[in-house]
Each structure stands twice: as C-alpha cells, then as structure tokens.
Chain A
Amino acid sequence: MRNPQRAQNIAFFFLLLATFLIVVPVGLIIAIIIQKGLPAINWQFISDIPRQGMRAGGIFPAIVGTLYLVIGAVIFALPIGLLAAIYLSEYAKDNLLTRITKLAIVNLAGVPSVVYGLFGLALFVVFLKFGASILSGSLTLGIMILPIIITTSREALESVPYSFREVSLSLGASKWQTIRHIVLPNAIPGILTGTILGLGRAAGETAPILFTVAAFYLPRLPKSIFDQAMALPYHLYVISTQVPNVDEKIRYGTALVLLTMVLFMNLVAIIIRYQFRKKKKW
C-alpha cells in the first residue's frame, strides 16, 4: 500500500465493520425477543401457574423459583466474597499464598458452568444428602458467582486512596476500625455493582441448576429450601426443546421475561458505576 492515508481509511473501515458485526446482531436479538415476546406478556402470564403441559397459563412458579435461587446464592456468596476481597486488598502480603489464591479465583471464574452442576450434584445433592433442592442449587450458584463478587469488590476496595487509611490509622484507629468505617463505606458502590452483576449471572445460568434443583414441571410454589423448584432459564430450555407444540408466543414471552430480569440487573449495575465515577471525591 503506497498511500498510508488510504491504507488507514481502509483499515478503519474494516474495524468499524467488525464492530457493526457484533453490535447489529445484539440489537437484532434483543429487538426480536421484545417484538415477539411482548404480545405474550399480560398479568395472567406473569401470575398464573403453567397449564395444559406448559402449553398455556403462566410462568409464575419459574419466576419465584429463580428469585429464591438468586437470593439464596447471594446470601451465601456475598459475605464470603466480601471478606475474601477485604483479605486480598487489605491483609494479603505479596507472597506465594496470595498468588495461589488469586490463581484459584481466576480458575473458579473459568470452570465451565456444567462442571459446577456436576460438583453441586456430587457434593450437595449426593454427599451431603440435601437432595435436588433450592438449598443445593443456591449453594452451587453461590460458588459460581463468588469470583465475580470477589474481583469487583477487591477493585472497589483497592481504589480507595491509601491516604484515607493513613489518616485513620494515625488518629489511633485500629486496622479493622479503619476498614469498617473508612474503606468499606467508600467502596460500597463498587461492591454493590459486583453483587448485582453476580445476581444477573446467577439468574441466567441453566447448567448448574440442571441436576441440583430444577424441576421439569411443578405447578405449585416451593414450600421450603429442601423443595425442588422451577427456574426461568430451565423452563425456557424445556419449552423450547423438550415439549412439542408449545405456542411460539409463550416461548418468546418466557425469553423476554428472563432477558428483562438479567439485563435490568446489569443496567442497574452499569448506572451505579457510572454515577459513582462521576461523584468520586478523589
């Protein structure tokens, strides 16, 4: 290419094209689901149990099941994840143990979701005898979202300037008092972001709950944490591949409810982060 300016124009055109190749399909996917799913959404669809072998009625038990699972996962993962983040940002020294811990977190984030399902089945369902239950499913999802919560919380804690800590320590506060009253309050938006992202991930995952909790068809609400439950992502899988002759409207409607739930959580997280960056005092 003799003319560097022309080469640049051609190259930038291809870069733009690649970006469109990602952005346009994403827009299309969301648009199609909204367009075809919206007609299915009404009060009955949201609040009724599935009827006629899931070919009619609503998806209420699946929505409730997913909410239970997500809440359970966060109750388990948030305390452990937050304390682990505090350990890494405030206590850990630069040694082999810390290196191994960080590597373990990276690996935990990379383990395939279906392997989490196997693990949950072996440990919670079979070994600890919780059976296929909300408890087993929540714990499995909780371990899966742990790395997300640890990584984002740790970034939030580390972004609090060191001088804040020094001032607090020099006034005679102990290390824990400094963390509790100075570092944590300043890191809350970041921790919140990570937690909500974890929630969104837990709500959308199917493979980890396949063998640990998900019920094919359960037209009532779970009564205790030892009950099986329906869940939205698994329900979508079931009505799109396992049950013949389900009205397309119901499938799209279910996909829309699931997508709305997950994208809403992600949007909230993005907005919190954006506001926080704008207001940052340092």
Chain B
Amino acid sequence: MRKFKEFIIEKLILICGLASILFVALIFLFLLKEGLAVFKTITPFKFLLGRNWYPISEPAQLGILPLILGSFLVTFGAACISIPIGVACAVYIAEVAPLKIKEILKAGIELLAAIPSVVLGFIGMVTLVPWVKNIFHLPTGLTALSGSIILAFMAMPTIVSIAEDALYSVPKTYKEGSLALGATHWQTIYRVMLPAASSGILAAVMLGIGRVIGETMAVMMITGNAALIPHSILQPVRTLTATIAAEMGEAVVGSEHFFALFAIGIVLFVISFAVNVTADLFLHRERK
C-alpha cells in the first residue's frame, strides 16, 4: 500500500516537473491559434513592415512597423540609461561597498524590483512627464524619453542583481593574484574582474532589456500612445505591448483586429524567447 502511494506521488512529481514545458507550449500554441488567422488577409511581410496601423478603419490597415520602431526606440533609450548605471552599481555593491551597506543596498534593489509597474507609471505621469514637458518646451511630456527613463528603473534591478552575481562568482584567486602583483583595487576590477565576469554581465544586460521590451503598463501610461513612426525621442510613441493592452478591450473576439493583436503577441513571444535562450547560454557558459 505504501509502495502504491509513493508510486502515485512520484508520478505526480514527474508530471508537475514537466508542467513548465507544457505551459510554454500552451502559450505558444494559443498565440498561434488566434494570431495566425490574421495572415489570411495580410501577408507576414506587409504585417511586419507596413507603415500604417489603423485597425478600425475600413479596410483595416495592419502594419506594425510604427509599433516595432516605438518599442525599439523606448528600449534603446532605456538601455542607454540603465546599462552603465546598472553595471556600475553592481560593481559598487560587489566590490566596493562595506558589508553592512551592501546588505542594505541589495534589499533596496529588491524593493525597486517589487514596485508594481502601474505604480511606477503613475509616478512617472505625475512627476516625470511635467518635467520633460517643461525642460524641452514640448506640447506634451508624454514622450519616448519619459518612457525610457521609467523603463530604465525597471531594468536596473535585473541588471544589478545578475551582474553582481556574475562578479561574485569570479574565483577569489583571480583577484588575489592581481592584487599580489601590485595592481590597485580598481585596476583589478577593470582589468581582471570585469573581463572574467563578462558573459554573466552580458546575460544581465540582455535579461534587463528583455524585461523592458515586455513591460506594458508603465509605457502605456507615459509614452503618449501615438501609433506613428517616431522621428525623435521627444515624440509620443506607441509600443507593441501597449497596443495589445490598450486595444484588446475594444477588439471584437474573432475580428481581424483581434487576430492582429494576437499576432503582435507572437512577435513579442518570439523576441522574449530569443532573448532568454541567448542569455541562458551566456550564463551557462559562465558556470563552466
């Protein structure tokens, strides 16, 4: 009887163990099921490179190039801000900070990661957006730049914690060897520690950027949501994620618009899949 009970439990454990694979497959399948239908009316080429997104006009124009460029611009801006600051902060926490301050900083970074994106979006709306408007004398502060700044704060916790892990896992002997040869602490960090941790830091950066591309609520609240091809970072843009979130409520189930939003979901899923698999490869290489 006990044997039988344990047999059942162990099978259950196996099933749950493989559940993650099932869920990833289910997500992809259901995105495909709803999203591929849009390609009955529009070619994938026109969908990805079409310059006009007018989903409710007659006939609907479903080109997502403005949205892809919007996502790209906001992500690029966020990367420019968050990568140098995030990596520098990771170096400070891993190498320079005294032990007590280190613990406090790590807890602080964790709290930043925990702030819900809708709260960051709200704070961005009431503080950052008016600043951007006044500083650059713009008609509206809802711009790609505002989005980039808030998103940088969402990428930084990921970058800092993973880069710090990577620096921490560099063998102590490397550091000791360099210091014993008379290098200063900074020379050791710059010439020995950073190169040794480079693949982990690269993974940190990729995962941070992955988080930015997928971020929805904050960008929807502060980038202005204009589905036009942006010419400058001081213009309103609309990202892939914000388009889905803003328009799905109005799209009729089974309409062309509905399918197109799912097709955008496929694009996002493929991007995040590629980013995560590549980052995982880098992390894996590091461990070897």
Contact = CB atoms under 8 A, between A and B. Distances in A.
Interface of A: 4-5, 7-8, 11-12, 14-19, 21-23, 25-26, 29-30, 32-33, 79-81, 83-84, 86-88, 91-92, 97, 100-101, 103-119, 121-123, 126-127, 143, 146-147, 150, 174-176, 200-201, 203-207, 210-211, 233-234, 236-237, 240-241, 248, 251, 255, 258-259, 262-263, 266, 270
B122 A91 contact: no
A205 B112 contact: no
A207 B241 CA distance: 9
Nearest to B23: A143
A174 B6 contact: yes
B60 interface: no
Contacts of B116: 203-206, 233, 258-259, 262
Interface stretch (B8-16, B51-59, B62-70, B169-177): B8-16
Interface residues of B, number: 89
B268 interface: yes
Interface string B204-232: 00010011011111000100000000000
A7 B213 contact: no
A22 B115 contact: no
A184 B213 CA distance: 37
Nearest to B149: A25
A116 B215 CA distance: 12
A22 to B, nearest CB: 5
B80 to A, nearest CB: 13
Given A111-B214, A205-B116, A240-B122, A176 B27 contact: no
Contacts of A258: 116, 118-119
B198 interface: no
Contacts of B31: 115, 118-119, 122
Interface of B: 2, 6, 9-10, 12-21, 23-24, 26-27, 30-31, 33-34, 84-86, 88-89, 91-93, 96-97, 105, 107-112, 114-123, 125-127, 153, 156, 160, 183-187, 189-190, 207, 210-211, 213-217, 221, 241, 244-245, 248-249, 253, 261-262, 265, 268-269, 272-273, 275-277, 279-280
Given A22-B160, A104-B20, A206-B117, A123 B110 contact: no
B75 to A, nearest CB: 12
A4 B111 contact: no
28 contacts: A8-B184, A11-B190, A12-B186, A22-B85, A22-B108, A23-B105, A25-B153, A26-B153, A84-B13, A87-B18, A88-B17, A91-B14, A112-B269, A113-B117, A114-B241, A115-B268, A115-B272, A118-B31, A118-B34, A118-B244, A174-B6, A204-B115, A204-B119, A207-B216, A207-B217, A237-B122, A237-B221, A255-B122
Contacts of A126: 253
Nearest to A174: B6
Q: Interface SS of chain A: helix, strand, loop or mixed?
A: helix
B235 to A, nearest CB: 19
Nearest to A36: B126
A84 B156 contact: no
A150 B248 contact: no
B275 to A, nearest CB: 7
Nearest to A114: B216
**What 10 A-B pairs are tightest by C-beta distance, nearest first?**
A112-B214, A87-B17, A204-B116, A18-B88, A83-B16, A8-B186, A110-B276, A15-B92, A122-B30, A104-B20
Contacts of B185: 8
